[in-house]
């Protein structure tokens, strides 16, 4: 009887550990929301495999006492995962480079962002702020996007039409 109780307790511990290991914790979601504006239901997170979720959890949790290192590691991992998500989406939706945003009016801005900006700005880098951070600092419009494109020497030169600048600005503003 005692052996059965010990085995049952051990089995429960293993199962709960496995379930925890396959997902992100409440603290992970809080960090992602606060730092990157990523909700639990975000398209960036909704298709994570258990291994990807565990790796992202590790990137967040293992470096929590070293915030700058954690941010760099998480930014790199999110960019990698986003690229994988786009590839998965493309397989089932030929001709669409990545899963469109929930608001269909933002689809063109998101597509332009994925093509020109996401690599550096979707989650941010050491030298490029994330769109979430940019949106939190000010309201963006076509003039501000154009100015940033023309006067930021670190950025790759991109020529966008006035309509495309408006679409990118609307997309950035949606990421508050």
CA geometry: angle 52, 78, 20, nearest 5 deg:
35
Task: State the pLDDT at residue 39.
Answer: 85
Judge contact between 95 and 160, C-beta under 8 A.
Answer: no
| Structure tokens given for 141 | 């419009």
How far is 128 from 155, CA to CA, in rounded Å?
9
How far is 58 from 88, CA to CA, in rounded Å?
23
CATH for the 102-176 domain, from 1.10.760, 1.20.1330, 1.10.101, 1.10.3470: 1.10.760
Every domain range in the chain assigned CATH 1.10.760: 102-176
Q: Is 23 exposed, middle or buried (0-12, 13-18, 19+ CB in 10 A)?
A: middle
> Residue 158 CB: number of other CB atoms within 10 A?
16
Q: Output the tens digit of pLDDT for each of the chain's 176 residues.
A: 443 343 333 433 333 333 334 589 999 999 999 888 888 888 778 778 888 899 899 999 998 899 989 999 999 888 888 888 888 888 888 877 787 888 889 999 999 998 899 888 988 888 888 888 899 999 999 999 999 998 888 888 889 999 999 999 999 999 88
Three-state secondary structure string covering the chain: CHHHHHHHHHHHHHHHHHHHHCCCCHHHHHHHHHHHCCCCCCCCCCCCCHHHHHHHHHHHHHCCCCHHHHHHHHHHHHHHHHHHHHHHHHHHCCCCCCCCCCCHHHHHHHHHHHHHHHHHHCCCCCCCCCHHHHHHHCCCCHHHHHHHHHHCCCCCCCCCCHHHHHHHHHHHHHCC
């Amino acid at each position: 009887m005692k052996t059965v109780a010990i085995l049952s307790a051990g089995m429960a511990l293993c199962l709960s550990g496995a379930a925890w290991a396959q997902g992100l914790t409440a603290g992970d979601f809080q960090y992602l929301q606060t730092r990157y504006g990523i909700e639990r239901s975000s398209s960036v997170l909704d298709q994570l495999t258990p291994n990807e979720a565990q790796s992202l959890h590790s990137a967040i949790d293992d470096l929590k006492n070293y915030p700058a290192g954690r941010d760099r590691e998480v930014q790199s991992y999110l960019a990698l995962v986003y690229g994988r998500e786009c590839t998965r989406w493309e397989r089932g939706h030929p001709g669409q480079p990545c899963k469109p945003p929930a608001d269909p009016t933002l689809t063109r801005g998101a597509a332009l962002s994925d093509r020109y900006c996401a690599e550096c700005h979707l989650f941010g880098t050491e030298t490029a702020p994330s769109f979430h951070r940019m949106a939190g600092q000010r309201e963006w419009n076509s003039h501000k996007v154009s100015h940033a494109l023309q006067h930021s020497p670190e950025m790759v030169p991109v020529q966008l039409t006035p309509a495309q600048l408006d679409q990118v600005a609307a997309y950035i503003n949606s990421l508050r």
